[in-house]
Amino acid sequence: MAAHEIDYTIMGEEMQCVEIQLDPGESVIAEAGSFMMMDQEIRMETVFGDGSSSQGGGLMGKLMGAGRRVLTGESLFMTVFTHAGGSGQRSVTFASPYPGKIIPLDLVQYGGKIICQKDSFLCAAKGVSVGIEFQRKLGAGFFGGEGFIMQKLEGDGLAFVHAGGYVMEKTLQPGEMLRLDTGCLVAMTSSVDYDIEMVKGVKSALFGGEGLFFATLRGPGKVWVQSLPFSRMADRILSAAGGSGRKEEGSILGGLGNLLDGR
């Protein structure tokens, strides 16, 4: 199934939204909770999974598509917005959930597949399949911090992902390696090899405050990196409010580290 050819406009700076312009009969799929507003002739429908033909036509195919979304921590359902009018373009707008940037991805330019963090997907043209990507290496699964299941976006249409803070695009040459905090990874092309590397040195692991593990990405391919993972922002808010977030980027000192630095 060829994805619908949608037009779009990204608006805003720190808190962005994307306006999708649909021709009659065209549709866009979106995560529950990302909807902002729509024109009068846009019809909204809730479906199992992503509504793409990759799920199969029967009930079992739809249930499998929805089940894959549960494994990534998402809802069983997605929402399809369709231009049900007879002429002209109509718009539907989706908003980012926290400060950052919306990244448009033309899947055709990246071999028809992008792998992204499970909470970064915002919306896509109907026909794009939203599935799961199991990490091949057990190290990435057990020690990655963000889980060993990531989302994959497949098809030949436009997809939109959201990243927190400032977004950097890094193009890795064959064999070139990049180390980063697991939460800072937004998306990567399917040609990038992803694994986990343990921090060397006991003092760095215990007192560095940066966690015990790095994500290691090897080229060739393109990587999108965010400066403000939502988990990091949530930790700061909980800490300021007197709550207990996750352990300071994975540091095993946890609350003791907070006590030592006066918090």
Give me the residue spans of the domains in the chain: 7-228, 234-263
Q: In what order do the strands lie in the sheet containing 7-11?
A: 7-11, 17-22, 90-95, 35-38
The CA-atom distances, in angstroms, between 236 and each of 76, 111, 228, 231, 244 are 30, 38, 11, 9, 10
**What type of residue is 251?**
S
Q: Is the pLDDT of residue 28 over 60?
A: yes
Distance between CA atoms of residues 263 and 260, nearest Å: 8
Phi, psi of 142 (to 5 degrees): -80, -30
Query: Checking DSSP bridges between strand 17-22 and strand 7-11, what pairing results, if any?
Result: antiparallel
pLDDT higher at 126 or 140:
126
Query: Closest Cα to residue 215, out of 121, 147, 118?
Result: 147
Cβ 167 vs Cβ 219: under 8 Å: no
Beta bridge partners of 241: none
Distance between CA atoms of residues 257 and 34, nearest Å: 36
Distance between CA atoms of residues 20 and 23, nearest Å: 10
**What type of residue is 134?**
F
**pLDDT number for residue 249:** 45
Peptide bond into 220 cis (omega under 30): yes
Residue that is written with structure tokens 């029967």 in the block? 58
The 10s digit of each residue's pLDDT in 175-224 is 999 998 888 999 999 999 988 777 665 555 555 555 567 788 999 999 99
**What type of residue is 85?**
G
**pLDDT number for residue 262:** 46
The 10s digit of each residue's pLDDT in 120-131 is 899 999 999 888
Grade residue 119 by pLDDT with cuts at 50, 70 and 90.
Answer: confident
Domain 7-228 has CATH 3.60.21.10: no
Q: In what order do the strands lie in the sheet containing 149-154?
A: 129-134, 149-154, 113-116, 185-189, 221-226, 167-172
